[in-house]
Structure 1
Amino acid sequence: MNRYIDVQGAEMVFTSAKGRFHALHDIHLQIAKGEFVSLIGHSGCGKSTLLNLIAGLLSPTEGALLCDNREIRSPGPERAVVFQNHSLLPWLTCFDNVYLAVERVFGAKERKAQLRERTHAALQLVGMAAATAKRPHEISGGMKQRVGIARALAMEPKVLLMDEPFGALDALTRAHLQDELLKIVARTRSTVVMVTHDVDEAVLLSDRIVMMTNGPAATIGQVLTVDLPRPRDRVALAEHPGYVACRKQVLDFLYTRHGQPQALAA
């Protein structure tokens, strides 16, 4: 495998006034360029912690993380994060929220006209071109999340990191945005790491699903390869034997074996 993201024996221990909490133990994970990987597990299993380590928002207690053969020491524009909360600035329009990120990354190298073109292109990509002048309070939750994704994509990141980006949305909006994300990833060929609690979402979107054991000292219990053809259609896959088998394997790990450590499978 081409190790575009390489997590090498990562440990994460948090220290507070209440003592030490061992969040992650001996995490080894390699992700190829252009791969879509989902992290799934019960609450408190360290999924978001692992994502934050890849983002550079946290530093491991032990071990190392590499992106494109460079050690991850801090956040960088090559690794864009989409949080469950869209984190849009309420006083700015949709356009300005995206433009702010574009200007920060490309402002020293490009003219304003080029920056505006990048911003418009990103909003167009997520279907928000008609709402550029609206502010966050004037659009729906799903539309806000689209703008958050547009802001991340506008930075042209090498890696897109998503922390339950659709978790707070209703079922229909979530399904629609999952379908849009499939199309966006196909067009941009982005490397994606996504945290999710949704088994169907993980199977629909992913090339591999990383299943985490229960914490404390959570680790990778199993890695499932989702060998389903792309492009994927949720209706066509609903009764596909491969889809059903993958879904059952994840559910078996999470609820039958209670997320306890299992032999690693690639």
Structure 2
Amino acid sequence: MNPIIRVQQVSQRFATAQGEFLALDNVSFDIHPGETLSLIGHSGCGKSTLLNLIAGLTRPSSGVLLCDNREVTGPGPERAVVFQNHSLLPWLTAYQNVELAVQQVFKGKMNRSEMAEWIEHNLGRVQMSHALHKRPGEISGGMKQRVGIARALAMKPRVLLLDEPFGALDALTRAHLQDSVMRIQQELNTTIVLITHDVDEAVLLSDRVLMMTNGPAARVGEILPIDLPRPRSRVALAEEPRYHHLRQQVLHFLYEKQTAVA
């Protein structure tokens, strides 16, 4: 099966007051259709820079990124992004925030009733049917993230890019949203790229974990296959020796990189 995303010898430089800063140095890897790939590494290792490149929000200084064998030259509806900050418009309801994205992508392809049904369907996927007409100021942080995910899913993306979407949430809310993402991924077979600082989250959600070396000039340090059967239960995995072994491998890599800098 051909990769859906190809990152080929990508470097990214930024001009700063102190001179040129090399954030990413010659990064290459593939992402396969239907897989969940986590990017993990210490702060400043270029994870968000890399996600922005895949999203088409920025262009690489050198190298090339491909989506479905076409060069990524800008944002596109086949690649939807969910940021740590939900990025909802505060004066619009949950329904209207999703509607805005649907109108941009499907204008002229759906009539009004089809569009309404599709918006409500996607809010239902993230258990937000009860809050269709609430504004962001009237719902919790976890609910805002659910609406952000619904908005992204409503675009029917081939690739869902998640930039630490659960990082600011409490542990229980984070666990519920992680379970929602796993359920949605199984239902839709969406390709997911997830940035995380959480080792447990990376191992729980991923098919592979891509571990970045420390910046500047960050590279791909190691890619770890997560060979745990799906569907996954966090309760069952707590008693699974293979889960703990994989978790230790990621922790060992991160600890090595931290002590190398210290």
Fold match (TM-score > 0.5): yes
- One-letter identity of the residue aligned with 2:166: F
| 1:2 shift after superposition | 2.4
Tell me which residue corresponds to 1:61. Answer: 61
Contact 2:213 2:257 in 1 (8 A): no
CA–CA distance in structure 2, aligned partners of residues 46 and 108 of structure 1: 39
Show the 5 A alignment for 1:111-260.
111-258=111-258
- Consecutive unaligned residues of structure 2, counting only runs of 5 or more, are none
Task: Write the deviation string for residues 135-189 of structure 1: whole angstroms up to 9, x where unpaired.
Answer: 1011000000000000000000010000000000011110111011110111111
Tell me which residue corresponds to 1:38. Answer: 38
| 1:10 shift after superposition | 0.3
CA–CA distance in structure 2, aligned partners of residues 158 and 94 of structure 1: 23
Contact 2:214 2:257 in 1 (8 A): no
- One-letter identity of the residue aligned with 1:178: Q
Contact 1:212 1:259 in 2 (8 A): no
Task: Write the deviation string for residues 85-131 of structure 1: whole angstroms up to 9, x where unpaired.
Answer: 00000000000000000001001222111111110110010000010
3-state SS of 1:258 partner: helix
CA–CA distance in structure 2, aligned partners of residues 190 and 124 of structure 1: 17
Tell me which residue corresponds to 2:26. Answer: 26
Q: 1:129 to 1:259 in 2, by over 3 A?
A: farther
RMSD: 1.0
13-22 or 135-144: bigger deviation: 13-22
CA–CA distance in structure 2, aligned partners of residues 221 and 142 of structure 1: 32
Tell me which residue corresponds to 1:88. Answer: 88
3-state SS of 1:239 partner: coil
Tell me which residue corresponds to 2:7. Answer: 7
CA–CA distance in structure 2, aligned partners of residues 18 and 77 of structure 1: 37
Tell me which residue corresponds to 1:72. Answer: 72
Contact 1:2 1:31 in 2 (8 A): no
CA–CA distance in structure 2, aligned partners of residues 109 and 99 of structure 1: 14
| 1:15 shift after superposition | 1.1
CA–CA distance in structure 2, aligned partners of residues 136 and 64 of structure 1: 38
Moved over 4 A (4+): none
The size of the alignment, in residue pairs, is: 260
| 1:211 shift after superposition | 0.1
CA–CA distance in structure 1, aligned partners of residues 194 and 180 of structure 2: 15
CA–CA distance in structure 2, aligned partners of residues 224 and 85 of structure 1: 28
Residue 110 of structure 2 corresponds to residue 110 of structure 1: yes
Tell me which residue corresponds to 1:263. Answer: none
- One-letter identity of the residue aligned with 1:101: A
3-state SS of 1:142 partner: helix
Contact 2:4 2:67 in 1 (8 A): yes
